[in-house]
Amino acid sequence: MDLLEYQGKQLFAKHGLRVSSGRAVTTVEDAVAAAGEVGYPVVVKAQVLIGGRGKAGGVKLAGNEAEAREHAQNILGLDISGHIVRTLWIEHASDIATEYYASVLLDRAEKLPLVIFSVEGGVEIEQVARENPQKLIRRHVDAFKGLSKREAVEIATEGGADEDVVEGVAEALVALYEVWSEEDATLAEINPLIVTPEREVKALDAKVTLDANALYRHPENQALSDAENEDPIERRAREEGVQYVALDGDIGILGNGAGLVMSTLDVVAQAGGAPANFLDAGGGSDAEKIKQAVELILANDAVKAVLFNIFGGITRCDEVARGLIAAFGDIKPTVPFVVRLDGTNDVEGRRLLQEADLPGVHAAATMNEAAEMVVALAAGNSVGAQS
């Protein structure tokens, strides 16, 4: 679960990391009021979960009320690579002497916490890793002991932080590690971590990813998502406990098991189609769950055809067939379906579908054939006999 900058900064502040004072607002009037409270000059920052805000015109400096109003007007509603700006973060502008980079993340390869520090802040860290790898220090941390102040001082020193701020950088690293470990984050990143002319070390930006599986331990963090910008169908699916990811094509996809669904998306794309969603109906899907899934898929108006790709393990194909039949009884889909049932109780499942003779439902024998059929149907072409 990715957090917006201001949400990340709230977690930073909670763990003692220095951030500028600011306010999160959603209207121009509130933006102007907030600017007055934090004191000019202020920075008006778009809150979106995508990089490149600055280049897109989503971060502006305002020296007075008129400028704050103008920037807030321009930035609210701005479309940054498909993310509409609905929230602004207004913070007191900081003077910057130097920009560093710091992050703590879960290193999946080493299965250890990893601290990264660089004196090349303010640019993409991938770029530093490519062009100036010697300017980037990576240090694994003992999973039980965590990051000690002594280690943090070593990292800051070896990384080349200015001597007079080594202490401040080390404190920031320890606090950042605490955010990562105590909030169940998988990533906590500051870019840039700035040094002001007064030699204060401060987080100017925040990128935090929390582990959704650990939210039960942090009820106070459950509300911290980009709910306003979340795809409405994704949100509904999340609330219903269905694994659904919105994509931008026109072929609705349902399968069982994350791997098989990912594979189905790929096979449909290879057949020339564009999937509209990822939907994992999960193991042991009963008729009610299947109906709910069909409703989610069809809630997306872009969908022109739907593919059911089921390989029954725990999931029983006859249950899937019953679910589909029940769904058709209630919601009368107007788009064609292709259904491929294989595995546990597949013969019974296919028989049920054939007997029900649902309008616009086509049976496919294999995954590849199913993909070709659904691509043809989405393009408005007919395929062989109905099931």
Partner 1 sequence: MAILVDEHTRLAVAGITGKEGSFHTLNNRSYGTNVVGGVTPGKGGQDVEGIPVFDSWAQAMEEVQPNTAMIFVPPRFAADSILEATAAGVELVIAITEGIPAHDELRVYNTIKRDHPGTRLIGPNCPGILSPGKANVGIIPASFFRQGNVGVVSRSGTLTYQIGNEIAQAGFGCSSIVGIGGDPVPGSSFVDVLELFQADDETELIVLSGEIGGSAEEEAAQFIAENVTKPVVAYIAGFTAPAGKQMGHAGAIVSGTAGTAAAKAQALEANGVRVGRTPTEVAEIAVDLLPV
Catalytic site residue from 6, 91, 100, 101: 101
Window contacting partner 1 (CB under 8 A); options: 32-40, 169-177, 293-301, 363-371:
363-371
Name 307's Cβ contacts closer than 8 Å, sequence gap at least 6.
Answer: 251, 252, 253, 254, 264, 268, 337, 338, 340, 370, 371, 374
Q: Which two tokens stand for residue 203?
A: 């987080």
DSSP-H helix ranges across 183-316:
232-240, 258-270, 287-298
Q: Which of 171, 189, 319, 372 is catalytic?
A: 189
Q: How far is the CB of 257 from partner 1 (least distance, A)?
A: 3
- In the complex, the smallest distance separating the C-beta of residue 67 from partner 1, rounded to whole angstroms, is 33
Distance CA 292, CA 296 (A): 6
Distance CA 98, CA 82 (A): 32
CB of 90 to partner 1, least distance (A): 26
Q: Which stretch binds partner 1 (CB under 8 A): 40-48, 53-61, 196-204, 360-368?
A: 360-368
Whether 40 sits among the annotated catalytic residues: the reply is no
Q: Which stretch binds partner 1 (CB under 8 A): 40-48, 131-139, 169-177, 337-345?
A: 337-345
Count of residues that interact with partner 1, criterion CB under 8 A:
51
**86 near 78, Cβ under 8 Å?**
no
Residue 281: count of CB within 10 angstroms of its CB: 25
Taking the complex as a whole, the smallest distance from the CB of residue 275 to partner 1 amounts, in Å, to: 7
In the complex, the smallest distance separating the C-beta of residue 345 from partner 1, rounded to whole angstroms, is: 11
Here the tokens at position 37 are 């409270």
DSSP 104-156: EEEETTTTEEEEEEES--SS-HHHHHHH-GGGEEEEE--TTT---HHHHHHHH
DSSP code, position 344: T
- What's the maximum distance between 2 C-alpha atoms anywhere in the chain? 79
Going residue by residue from 144 to 163, which x/- string records binding to partner 1, judged by CB under 8 A?
Answer: x-------------------
Name residues contacting partner 1, limited to 25-64 (CB under 8 A): 49
Q: How far is the CB of 120 from partner 1 (least distance, A)?
A: 17
Binding residue for partner 1, selected from 55, 111, 150, 332, defined by CB under 8 A: 111
Q: What is the C-alpha separation between 96 and 62, in angstroms, rounded?
A: 16
Buried b (16+ CB within 10 A) or exposed e, 22-31: bbbbeebeeb
Structure tokens at 339: 């259904």
Which one among 16, 270, 331, 384 touches partner 1, defined by CB under 8 A? 270
Residue 365 sits in the site that holds partner 1 (CB under 8 A): no
Query: Is there binding between residue 314 and partner 1 (CB under 8 A)?
Result: yes
Q: Nearer Cβ to partner 1, position 104 or 363?
A: 104
Closest separation between CB of residue 130 and partner 1, Å?
A: 10
User: Are 303 and 276 contacting, i.e. CB atoms less than 8 angstroms apart?
Assistant: yes
Q: Does 336 bind partner 1 (CB under 8 A)?
A: no
Residues 206-265 touching partner 1, rule: CB under 8 A, are 211-214, 216-217, 243, 245, 247, 255-263, 265
Return left, alpha or beta for 362; rule: phi > 0 is left, psi -120 to 50 is alpha, else beta: beta
99 is catalytic: no
Q: Considering only residues 267, 321, 327, 364, which one is a binding residue for partner 1 as defined by CB under 8 A? A: 267
Binding residue (CB under 8 A) for partner 1 from 38, 106, 335, 383: 106
Select 186 or 196, whichever has its Cβ closest to partner 1. Answer: 186
Q: Which amino acid is at 59?
A: V
The residues binding partner 1 (CB under 8 A) are 2, 49, 106, 108-109, 111-113, 126, 143-144, 181, 184, 186, 211-214, 216-217, 243, 245, 247, 255-263, 265-267, 269-270, 275, 278, 280, 283, 311-314, 342-344, 366-368
Catalytic residue annotation: 101, 189
